[in-house]
């Protein structure tokens, strides 16, 4: 067989689904696998994956995922990953640990930059500089304290402490473990914080040697780069190895003879108020292929995909809980499973929830699934497959994950990418009237003993008990050390700290490949935008899809009504209308459109003192169904049943539950939102809707829906009458010009049917906040924020601020808060429209130390010598952020936001020029802004009440959970 750069071609075919060619290769020497997708997507993607089944819950795969990116043979800097973040035009740069695989993907629209990223990642995974200090930093190590005791520190250790503080994360883990107790899926590849300190360096090294090998590798390329060069880059590394048998196969879980019920507990506050959660989980015993998986995906959409879906509606209408629980259909593992249930229940109702699930499924199997539900589900899935809208993620990454779903388990890598034939077949079956879904319900749910139920109950003793076990383990470790061993622990910790604080040598830094400033475009690419009175049109090829945004100014809403807006948006789309009941309307939306969803835009205006406030209804449909989309939107805007008490109640309870569950995984956003509420009107409005104030509003609203619903309806109707009119509306359309010409009149007619209305502006009465707020939740980690409005203290904005803010995030803050402090991450957030500068940490074991780090930013920026090399890297990263790759719908929406916020092409070009001309002088100016935060900044901490009480600072404490 012919070899090209060490690879043998196995197959080649054109895929209409990807508008490109798919070539499968095998590396002759090692057996390494390659899937090469060749198409015209400029956002080029590469990934290399390894089967990495853990043997315990020490988090070894996760810790190794972090560690291989901490320097390699060819790139011996401490963290090549961070150096690439600083200076690449990357659109994706990360690594992910799954229960059975570890994935290293990168993407960039610039071919040379893309090759640079691929080269660094290949060297990282195959030839990392793994040392005991790497494991100590990224995994865990002992920290000798001043009193002679020990504590733990490590990036993954604290990341997983955060994960184990999240009830939703725990529910997912317990669900998966309950169904697969005898396989790798019964372990935690991320790491259980109580088990992570059992990991040894010998195990660490052995795992890498066994699994990070071409014989166990799955390489993937996608996009418009040179396809032959892909082979050459891979062979450069693969050829350095001999073939082995990694014995990494993922075992199958034998089904159960009878169902299993488990009860678990999660950490809650002493104040109570938190409720139980339950899931019923079904293991799926059947051979996987594209057709059977697609049928199951449609079944999932039928059962729980829409608010009106029969199983979801039955659970929500039961009144037993606040929101759906479970992941639905989990299809990224070797074995499929389906999980659903309720959160926010009384523990005593868990059995009733399970009984309701089975009763609903039995009724569907006996009476048949409604044709309208089938049509809605099939259209939803077909639309999403054809649109291939991956949001901010590269499309290639989505394709890679789909390929791995079969490829990792020795199936064909294109099994789940070729969707056209199975989609055609399933539609033909449905057309013939085959009872596909009733049979599946019988097989998978009703006649299946391979299932579990997991009940999770809040318990205020869980947190203290976990802390006590950790303390006991540390005390035992300390007492087992003699003086010499303790001195060695002290020495190791000091050595690690010295290594962390030591800068990389210029010679080592020079090994990291990067573009030059001369490679960058001096002028930014503008998004095409045509103004047509109160409509913006973006003539962009959208592959035949109409993207429509209706942006209504809500400046006329008084403060007390603003927190309603997220609820109001869902009420418009999920309560039915005067003409169409809730179930029929949601089915119609799913069958005729690609979705209709609400959002808000809130920002300070660049060129005035005004605040941009828009409630946006976003819709999409194929061009031929645009009139259906317009008819539906018109009916929703004019006739939505805002007095549908049952639906409003459920919407409010769901929103409250989701906000409460997001506090721990998204704590940095909550802390930053609260911080920004102090500084300007936009921040204040955002806090009212999306922050802790918004959560308090939802809790109160839930009571009002039950006790004073008439006033709730009156408020919702007031919002509709104040904002949903022509005077407040800006329409935004993204579509190719020819198709737009066919629908322009229809859009104008739809807008013309709205009330004429008037535009008004309410007076804002911003709340006052304490200088140091402690937002208390039952968590083992903190989210620490400090910030100020630096415009008020004399800082003059320059585009260079974004370069420096990014420089801090990937340099000083990364080193001090993450690497040395053990937090999972830290951010420098600068808002160019409002002037708010905030430093925020994520899953942080520290509090005072982190605040002291923030206070040192100004001095750091004043003291560093910013040489031309560092400056050029910072500028490259800054331009990469400005030139973020966007899909067509994102381009249209972004253009509208810029228009509303007063950021024209001239302003954006000035920012670009300021970024390109960033100098040491700009660093010194930003240092003064950072000193303003240190001297005048407020503090917001979301996290452990104990940590705040022991900090020595005077926090105004608020119990959030």
Q: Which residues are catalytic?
A: 65, 138
Q: What is the enclosing helix (H) or strand (E) of 565?
A: helix 565-574
- Kindly compute the dihedral angle of the four CA atoms of residues 331, 337, 341, 347, in this order, to the nearest 10 degrees: -130
Q: Are 755 and 889 in contact (CB under 8 A)?
A: no
State the Cα torsion 842-843-844-845 to the nearest 10°.
180
Contact by Cβ (8 Å): 810, 874: no
Orientation angle between helical segments 582-592 and 565-574, nearest 10 degrees: 90
Beta bridge partners, 22, equal 13, 37
Cα-based angle 908, 913, 915 (whole degrees, multiple of 5): 95
Length of the chain: 961
Whole-number Cα distances in Å, 61 to 64, 219, 245, 430, 825? 5, 18, 19, 43, 19
908/676 Cα distance (integer angstroms): 24
What stretches of 811-918 show up as alpha helix (H) in DSSP? Answer: 812-813, 848-855, 857-863, 868-882, 888-900, 905-916
Token pair of 556 as six digits: 């006329």
CA geometry: angle 652, 657, 660, nearest 5 deg: 125
Where in 570-690 does DSSP place strands (E)?
A: 595-604, 611-622
Cβ(641)–Cβ(659) below 8 Å: no
- H/E element, 282: strand 276-283
Q: 171 near 456, Cβ under 8 Å?
A: yes
Q: Is the dihedral of CA 417, 884, 552, 753 positive or negative?
A: negative
Structure tokens at 863: 């003291």
Exposed/middle/buried for 407, CB within 10 Å: 0-12, 13-18, 19+? buried
Instruction: Give the integer Cα–Cα distance in Å for 783 and 774.
Output: 10
CA end-to-end span of the chain, whole Å? 65
**Cα Rg of the chain, angstroms:** 28
**Phi and psi of 837, rounded to 5°?**
-120, 120
Q: What are phi and psi of 708, to 5 degrees?
A: -150, 55
Give Cα 920 distance to the centre of its chain.
35
Taking the C-alpha atoms of residue 842 and residue 784, their distance in angstroms, rounded to an integer, is 7
Q: Give the span between the Cα atoms of 156 and 65, in whole angstroms.
A: 10
Measure the CA dihedral 525/530/536/542, to 10°.
-60
Task: Order the strands of the 595-604 sheet from edge to edge.
Answer: 530-532, 535-539, 729-735, 545-553, 611-622, 595-604
């Amino acid at each position: 067989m012919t070899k090209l750069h060490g690879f043998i071609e196995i197959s080649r075919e054109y895929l209409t689904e990807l508008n490109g060619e798919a070539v499968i290769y095998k590396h002759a020497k090692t057996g390494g696998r390659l899937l090469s997708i060749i198409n015209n997507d400029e956002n080029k993607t590469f990934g290399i994956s390894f089967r990495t089944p853990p043997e315990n819950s020490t988090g070894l795969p996760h810790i190794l995922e972090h560690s291989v990116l901490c320097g390699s043979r060819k790139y011996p800097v401490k963290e090549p990953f961070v150096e690439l973040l600083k200076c690449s035009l990357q659109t994706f740069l990360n690594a992910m640990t799954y229960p059975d695989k570890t994935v290293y993907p990168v993407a960039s629209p610039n071919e040379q930059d893309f090759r640079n990223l691929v080269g660094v990642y290949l060297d990282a995974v195959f030839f990392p500089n793994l040392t005991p200090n790497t494991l100590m930093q990224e995994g865990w190590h002992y920290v000798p304290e001043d009193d002679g005791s020990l504590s733990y520190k490590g990036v993954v250790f604290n990341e997983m402490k955060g994960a184990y503080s999240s009830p939703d994360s725990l529910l997912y883990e317990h669900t998966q473990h309950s169904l697969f107790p005898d396989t790798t899926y019964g372990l935690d590849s991320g790491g259980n914080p109580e088990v992570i300190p059992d990991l040894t360096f010998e195990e660490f090294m052995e795992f890498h040697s066994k699994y990070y090998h071409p014989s166990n590798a799955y390489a993937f390329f996608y996009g418009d780069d040179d396809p032959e060069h892909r082979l050459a880059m891979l062979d450069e590394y693969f050829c350095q190895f001999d073939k082995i048998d990694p014995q990494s196969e993922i075992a199958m879980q034998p089904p159960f003879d009878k169902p299993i019920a488990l009860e678990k507990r999660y950490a809650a506050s002493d104040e109570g108020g938190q409720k139980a959660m339950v899931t019923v989980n079904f293991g799926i015993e059947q051979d996987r292929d594209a057709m059977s998986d697609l049928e199951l995906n449609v079944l999932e959409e039928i059962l729980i995909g829409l608010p009106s879906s029969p199983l979801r509606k039955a659970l929500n209408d039961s009144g037993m809980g606040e929101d759906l629980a479970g992941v639905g259909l989990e299809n990224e593992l070797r074995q499929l499973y389906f999980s659903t249930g309720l959160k926010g229940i009384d523990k005593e109702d868990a059995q009733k929830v399970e009984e309701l699930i089975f009763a609903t499924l039995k009724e569907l199997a006996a009476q048949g699934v409604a044709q309208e539900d089938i049509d809605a589900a099939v259209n939803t899935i077909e639309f999403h497959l054809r649109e291939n809208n991956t949001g901010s993620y590269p499309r290639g990454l989505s394709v890679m994950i789909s390929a791995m779903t079969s490829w990792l388990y020795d199936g064909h890598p294109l099994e789940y990418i070729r969707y056209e034939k199975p989609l055609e077949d399933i539609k033909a079956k449905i057309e013939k009237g085959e009872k596909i879904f009733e049979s599946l319900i019988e097989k998978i749910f009703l006649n299946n003993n391979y299932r579990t139920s997991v009940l999770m109950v809040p318990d205020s003793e869980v947190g203290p008990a976990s802390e006590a076990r950790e303390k006991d383990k540390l005390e035992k470790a300390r007492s087992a050390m003699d003086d010499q061993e303790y001195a060695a622990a002290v020495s190791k910790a000091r050595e690690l700290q010295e290594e962390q604080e030591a800068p990389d040598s210029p010679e080592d830094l020079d090994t990291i490949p990067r573009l030059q400033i001369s490679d960058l475009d001096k002028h930014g690419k503008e998004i095409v935008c045509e103004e047509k009175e109160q409509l913006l049109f973006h003539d962009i090829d959208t592959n035949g899809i109409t993207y429509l945004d209706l942006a209504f100014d809500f400046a006329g809403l008084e403060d007390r009504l603003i927190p309603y807006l997220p609820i109001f948006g869902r009420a418009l789309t999920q309560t039915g209308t005067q003409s169409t009941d809730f179930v029929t309307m949601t089915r119609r939306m799913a069958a005729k459109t690609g979705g209709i969803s609400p959002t808000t835009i809130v920002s300070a205006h660049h060129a005035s003192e005004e605040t941009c406030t828009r409630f946006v209804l976003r819709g999409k449909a194929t061009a031929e169904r645009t009139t259906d989309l317009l008819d539906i939107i018109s009916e929703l805007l004019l006739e939505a049943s805002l007095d549908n008490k049952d639906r409003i109640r459920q919407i409010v309870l769901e929103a409250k539950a989701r906000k409460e569950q997001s506090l721990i995984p998204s704590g940095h956003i909550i802390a930053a939102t609260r911080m920004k509420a102090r500084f300007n009107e936009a921040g204040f409005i955002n806090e009212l809707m999306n922050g802790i104030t918004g959560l308090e509003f939802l809790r109160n609203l839930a009571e009002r829906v039950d006790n004073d619903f008439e006033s709730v309806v009156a408020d919702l109707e007031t919002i509709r009458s104040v904002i949903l009119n022509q005077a407040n509306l800006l329409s935004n359309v993204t579509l190719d010009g020819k198709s737009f010409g066919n629908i322009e009149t229809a859009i104008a007619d739809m807008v013309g049917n709205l009330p004429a209305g008037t535009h008004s502006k309410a007076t804002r009465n911003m709340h006052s906040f304490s200088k140091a707020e402690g937002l208390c939740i039952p968590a083992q980690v903190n989210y620490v924020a400090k910030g100020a409005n630096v415009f008020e203290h004399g800082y003059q904005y320059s585009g260079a601020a974004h370069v420096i803010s990014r420089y801090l995030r990937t340099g000083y803050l990364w080193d001090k808060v993450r690497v040395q402090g053990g937090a999972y991450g830290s951010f420098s957030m600068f808002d160019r429209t409002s002037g708010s500068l905030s430093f925020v940490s994520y899953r942080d074991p520290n509090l005072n130390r982190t605040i002291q780090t923030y206070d040192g930013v100004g001095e750091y920026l004043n003291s560093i010598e910013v040489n031309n090399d560092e400056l050029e890297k910072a500028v490259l990263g800054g331009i990469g952020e400005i030139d973020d790759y966007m899909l067509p719908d994102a381009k249209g929406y972004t253009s509208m936001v810029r228009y509303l916020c007063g950021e024209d092409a001239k302003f954006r070009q000035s920012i670009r020029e300021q970024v390109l001309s960033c100098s040491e002088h700009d660093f010194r100016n930003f240092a003064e802004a950072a000193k303003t935060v240190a001297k005048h900044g407020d503090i917001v901490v979301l996290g452990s009440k104990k940590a705040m009480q022991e900090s020595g600072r005077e926090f105004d404490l608020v119990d959030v959970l």
